[in-house]
Amino acid sequence: MFAAMAREATIADLLTVKAAAELLGVSEQTLRRWDKAGKLRARRHPMNGYRLYPRNVVLNLRRQILSEGRAAR
């Protein structure tokens, strides 16, 4: 029972390509290219193979992008 709950929590903390792209302000295709290049690796859904991104990694990258944008001003 606890293992199933842990898996659910993990899945809830993952973002789809679309959701991650929206948070980062880039296109879905950009995220796919970053994954292929190893810049932002995605996990794969075990049943359908879809790319999934850890929410905390995406949010950290967003903070980094925003702080670099402010520093450039």
What is the domain extent for residue 36?
2-71
pLDDT digits (tens, 9 = 90+) for 22-69: 999 999 999 999 999 999 999 998 899 999 999 999 999 999 988 987
Q: Considering the entire predicted model, what is its pTM? A: 0.77
| Model confidence at 2: pLDDT above 70 | no
Count: domains in the chain = 1
**Residue 68, pLDDT score:** 86
**Residue 73, pLDDT score:** 58
What own/partner pairs with CB < 8 Å and gap ≥ 24 does 9-13 have?
11/52, 13/54, 13/55, 13/56
CATH code of residue 26: 1.10.1660.10
**Residue 1, pLDDT score:** 39
Nearest-Å Rg of the Cα atoms of the chain is 14
Residue listed under structure tokens 């859904």: 45
